[in-house]
Amino acid sequence: MTDPLPNAHVRAEILVQALPHMQRYDEQVVVIKYGGHAMGDQAAAEDFAEDVVLLEQSGLKPIVVHGGGPQIGKMLNRLGIKSEFQAGLRVTDEATVEVVEMVLAGSINKQIVGWIGAEGGKAVGLCGKDGNMVTARKATRTVVDPDSRIEQAIDLGFVGEPEHVDRSILDAVLKAELIPVLAPVAVGSDGRTYNVNADTFAGAIAGAMNAKRLLLLTDVPGVLDKTKTLIPELTVDACRRLIADGTITDGMIPKIETCIYALEQGVEAVVILDGKVPHAVLLELFTDHGAGTLIRRG
Ligand SMILES: Nc1ncnc2c1ncn2[C@@H]1O[C@H](COP(=O)(O)OP(=O)(O)O)[C@@H](O)[C@H]1O
Ligand SMILES: CC(=O)N[C@@H](CCC(=O)OP(=O)(O)O)C(=O)O
């Protein structure tokens, strides 16, 4: 007979092991970045919301930062606007930034707030523009022309890089025992809206909040080697070698750059893990074996 409630069993088993781990995290901030790919699975999304509520009830201070790349892509497609990426970032013109804000700070943000509410938690959905929480400068990138090998600057439009995080709003929200859910949209010194990569945004939040852990939930088990086997633990130096030899590519590059930045800012450890695994967050924080790839300084 099939188990009618397999995830409830997973959760119960995890909770038996959880107590000593909970003490380790007491009152500590944990930033959880929930990627757009991980969000696609409704059952896993509900488990995710349940985990976030349980963390808050256990005395931790979870902060959720969400992405929504695939969902933005779908909406742009419906509106007949072409998606273009350069160096892993969405080239964001006036029309695109409007859609990005609508999808991220509008529908996805409120959907996650709703999931957490349905699990008995109280979440507050914000973006970086609220109270000038996250200010951004225009992102600059260069690409090397494959034929001439000449480096060229590329204009990404309204793509931002976090410049300053004002933690006072987040402190107030956490003090009120509410769960912040943040969309990676920021404001520039020119008052314009900037689209920030969600991993980068999560790293800036984790750094500013002196988070104990930054968890990056994606759609792969963690960092994989050339044979597609999970690497359970990596140092910063090892990550740099894997980027240089082409093992780490595409969307995993901004994730690793975020990990390195967060560790430099004092975050104790960063974990990249599969958000589609039932109760991935609880497994990582509250069991001995953890999940995904743990990245430490060194
Ligand atoms: N070495 C690697 N290990 C795991 N994933 C990798 C690696 N190199 C590149 N990737 C790619 O990075 C993707 C995760 O980044 P991304 O698609 O941006 O996720 P998200 O939407 O969760 O932010 C994986 O689905 C995979 O295709
Ligand atoms: C500048 C830039 O690329 N911004 C991203 C923001 C969303 C994001 O990062 O979502 P995921 O985490 O699901 O990939 C974008 O427009 O797709």
| Cα–Cα distance, 119 to 34 (Å, whole number) | 17
> Residue 4: inside a domain, yes or no?
no
Q: Answer for the pair 40, 70: CB distance below 8 angstroms, yes or no.
A: yes
**Residue 45 — left, alpha, or beta (φ > 0 → left; ψ -120 to 50 → alpha)?**
alpha
Cβ of 157 below 6 Å from ligand 2: no
Query: 21 in a domain, yes or no?
Result: no
CATH of the domain at 267: 3.40.1160.10
Residue 69 forms part of a structural domain: yes
**Residue 162 neighbours by CB under 8 Å, 6+ apart:** 128, 134, 135, 136, 186, 196, 200, 201, 204
Domain assignment present for 11 = no
Q: Could you give the number of structural domains in the chain?
A: 1
Q: What residue type is assigned to position 271 of the chain? A: V
Is residue 3, in this structure, part of any structural domain at all? no
Q: Spell out the per-residue pLDDT of the chain, length 298, in tens.
A: 444 445 666 666 666 566 556 566 667 999 999 999 998 888 889 999 999 999 999 999 999 999 999 999 999 999 999 999 988 899 999 999 999 999 999 999 999 999 999 999 999 999 999 999 999 999 998 888 878 888 889 999 999 999 999 999 999 999 999 999 999 999 999 999 999 999 999 999 999 999 999 999 999 999 999 999 999 999 999 999 999 999 999 889 889 999 999 999 999 999 999 998 989 999 999 887 778 999 988 7
Q: Tell me, using a 6 A CB cutoff, whether residue 72 lines ligand 1.
A: no
Angstrom distance (rounded) from CA 217 to CA 200? 13
DSSP 150: -
pLDDT at residue 3 in the model? 46
Q: Is 137 annotated as contributing to ligand binding?
A: no
Instruction: Say yes or no: CB of residue 89 within 6 Å of ligand 2.
Output: yes
Which residues span the domain enclosing 45?
A: 26-296
90 assigned to a ligand binding site: yes
Residue 17 lies in a domain: no
Is 184 a pocket residue for ligand 1 (Cβ < 6 Å)? no
Is position 68 annotated in a ligand binding site? yes
What ipTM describes this predicted complex?
Answer: 0.96
Asked if residue 267 is part of any domain, the answer here is: yes
Q: Which residues of 260-277 are buried (b: 16+ CB within 10 A; e: fewer)?
A: bbbbebebebbbbbbbbb
Is residue 272 in a domain? yes
